[in-house]
Amino acid sequence: MKSLFLVVVSLMFVFQSQCQEMMQWRGVDRDGKYDAKGLLKKWPETGPKLLWSYEALGDGHASATVTDDVVYTGGVDGDQGFIIAFDHSGKELWKKNYAKEWMDNYDGVRGTPLLDDGMLYMMSGHGELVAMSAKNGEKIWSKNMLTEYGGRNLRFGMTENLLIEGDMLFCTPGGEETNVIAVNKKTGDLIWKTKAMGEKSAYCSPLLVKRGNRSLMVTHTDSSIIGIDIHNGEMLWSFEHKNTYGIHPNTPLYKDGQLFCFSGYGKGGVMLQLSEDGASVKEVWRNAFVDSQMGGAVLVDGKIYVSGHKNRMWYCIDWKTGEEIYSSKAIAKGNVIFADGMLYCYGDNGEIGLIDIKNGEFNKVSFFRVPMGTKQHWAHLVIHNNRLYVRHGNAFMVYEI
C-alpha cells in the first residue's frame, strides 16, 4: 500500500511539473542563453547530423518552443496560421489553426508559441491573441487587439513574442489610449490597461525586470523605451529611443540594475541604469555601431555579442563602458544565441556558424549552409539538450550537436 501511495505521489509530481513548465522566446530568461551541456566543440565539415526535417510549414519566421517531450512551432496554410506539435522523432502529434495570418508582406507566422502551465499562447499579425491547449491544440479563448482594444496595426503586421508572469499575460496593442495591457492567462479577461506614451507598438518582445520590490515589463514602442509596473499598469518611466521606421524588435538585456536596449537602421544601443526602486532610469552610455535589426544579443562574461544592421559586422562590446573590444566579418549579420561556452550565429545569408569566444576573439570553428527552406533566414535558433532547432521559411530542421 505504501509503495502504491509513493507511485501515485510521484506521478502527481511529474504531472504537476509538466503543467507548470514554461518555455518562451529566446530561452528561460529571454536572453538567448541555453543551459545545454556537453555540446560538440567542432562540427563535421558537412555540418552536424540532420536528425529530421519537415517542409510543409508555409511562409513565416516563427522559432521553436521545445520541451523534453514535444516540439512546437507555427506555420500557415493558405492565410490561416497554425501551431504544429511534434515528438522528438519528428512525428506529427497535432496541427491546429489559431487565426488568419499576415500575408501582405514578409508573409506568414512571425511569433513563437509561448508555453505556460499546459497552454500555448500566440498573437497573429492581425492582432488576434489566442490561447490553446498544449495537449491537443484546442482553442481556449481569443481576444483581438485591434477590434477589442483599439490597437493599431503596423506596416509588417503586429509581431510580439508574448510574456507571462504569474497569471498575467502582457501584450502591446499600441492604441492611443489602450497602449499596453495585462490579461488573465486562463480567461483572457482584462486585468489592467495603460496609455503609456500612446505610441504604436514596435515589433518588440518585452522583458520582465525585477528591481527592488518592483517587477517591471520593459518594452519598446514606436519612439520610446518604457517601464511599466506589472502589478497595476503604471508607467514608471520612458526614455526616448527612436529610429527612422519605428522598428525595434530586439528584446532588451538586463543585469544588476542595468538595461541594454538596441535597434537597427543605424540607431544602435543604449545602456540605462535603473534606480534602486526601478522607478526611473538614466543613460550610462551609447554605441551607435551595435544596430542589430532583429537578431538579438547575448551577454557573456561582461561582454555583449551582437551583429550590426547598417554596420554589417559582429561586435564584442564591454557591458560597463559600451566600448568596442573587437569586431568581425566572419559570418553575415543575423541572430545569435549562446550555449556551453560557444556562440551560435545564424547569418541572414543562410550560414550557421559555431563561434569560439573564449580566447578573446571571434573564432568561427565550424559552419554549414541551411539546406532547405524558402525566403528570409530570420527565425532565431533554439537549443534544447543536444539538439539545434532551425527554421527557414517552410522548412524546419533538427540537428544533433
d(CA 214, CA 14): 32
Whether the model clears a pTM of 0.75, i.e. scores above it, the answer is yes
Residue 176: what pLDDT? Answer: 97
305 near 358, Cβ under 8 Å?
A: no
CB atoms within 10 A of CB 255: 11
| Residue found by looking up cell 538614466 in the block | 282
Residue 5: what pLDDT? Answer: 43
Instruction: List, for the chain, all residue ranges whose pLDDT scores fall below the cut of 50.
Output: 2-19
Residue 21: what pLDDT? Answer: 79
Partners of 345 in beta bridges: 336, 353
Domain range annotation of the chain = 32-63+294-401
Residue 334: what pLDDT? Answer: 97
d(CA 320, CA 295): 21
On average, the pLDDT of the chain sits at: 94
113 near 121, Cβ under 8 Å?
A: yes
315 near 299, Cβ under 8 Å?
A: no
**How distant, in Å, are the alpha carbons of 38, 45, 133, 364 from that of 342?**
11, 18, 35, 10
Which CATH number among 3.20.20.70, 2.130.10.10, 3.40.710.10, 3.40.50.10860 corresponds to the domain 32-63+294-401?
Answer: 2.130.10.10
Residue 20: what pLDDT? Answer: 56
